[in-house]
Structure 1
């Protein structure tokens, strides 16, 4: 399954996982744009502040459907690009339920810093620094595990694995 040893579930390097994470964010811009446009059109929302919470919930559900669908197939487009696959602990494809659980647990990337900052009137720069700082801490925590998996993957019963083609050019 990986370039290291066939059949061994090896986690990709943190650098590649984070590059995939950033690319995923770029691709999600398109998903969120289309979802927002669709919501605005269907609800005839003329002011961005109207139906704000409903829009946030709608986008949350759309992103959940996006990830649930692709993770149950094994990879999103960003994961294909970076040769990463998500599987369960035994190396099998994810069920829709496990993919949904992983999606909900992935919010640990953002919710703790946002919840901690909510009571304080912080400027955008401060929010950015605190959020990026938490993301870096959360990512680096995977370095303390022998299997190098993110904690939300451990909790969801999933694994990110390296699926680079064999180095000798042979296709599996």
Structure 2
């Protein structure tokens, strides 16, 4: 059974400002990861398959595999951080943590649900995160659907 986090009575639901701040920090980290993944993909396609420079990125298979790698690497980053300590580097800077409703680290399945619903929340013009302003418990769509909470940690 996974351990419970400490200081459960000292946390409170995260507001929109902190969430957006952490998202901005994490966006820079994910962009760096995506840059490395893209460079590795281009090198494999170019040199591993011996394609000319003009042919790199032209086929649907090349674009499709790159897009899948980008989505998978983004999920890998968030799932690793959320499962390990409940927070990404951006969340650490803003003192946020993702946890289950009873204060435990989230599961891999919950991480996947959070990741997918986070993309949908952004695709809906951010409405999934603006929902924090209307929900009595300050939950976003990823929180609601995955059965998790995003909380602020004490100093």
The equivalent position to 1:107 in structure 2, one of 99, 116, 119, is 119
Q: Deviations over 1:112-139 (max 9, x none)?
A: 4xxxxxxxxxxxxxxxxxxxxx12x333
RMSD: 2.1
Contact 1:9 1:91 in 2 (8 A): no
Residue 48 in structure 1 maps to residue 71 in structure 2: no
Residue 88 in structure 1 maps to residue 100 in structure 2: yes
What is the alpha-carbon distance in structure 1 between the residues aligned to residue 42 and residue 30 of structure 2? 18
What is the alpha-carbon distance in structure 1 between the residues aligned to residue 13 and residue 135 of structure 2? 11
What is the alpha-carbon distance in structure 2 between the residues aligned to residue 25 and residue 95 of structure 1? 22
Q: Which aligned pairs between 1:24-43 and structure 2 lie closer than 5 A?
A: 24-43=26-45
Equivalent in the alignment of 2:78: 67
The equivalent position to 2:110 in structure 1, one of 98, 101, 119, is 98
Shift of 1:110: 3.3
The equivalent position to 1:152 in structure 2, one of 132, 142, 147, is 142
Contact 2:96 2:150 in 1 (8 A): yes
Contact 2:83 2:108 in 1 (8 A): yes
Q: Which aligned pairs between 1:119-158 and structure 2 lie closer than 5 A?
A: 134-135=125-126, 137-158=127-148
Contact 1:85 1:162 in 2 (8 A): yes
Count of paired positions: 141
What is the alpha-carbon distance in structure 1 between the residues aligned to residue 153 and residue 36 of structure 2? 31
Name the TM-score, length of structure 1 as normaliser: 0.74
What is the alpha-carbon distance in structure 1 between the residues aligned to residue 96 and residue 21 of structure 2? 11
Residue 77 in structure 1 maps to residue 89 in structure 2: yes
Name the TM-score, length of structure 2 as normaliser: 0.81
Runs of 5+ in structure 2 lacking a partner? none
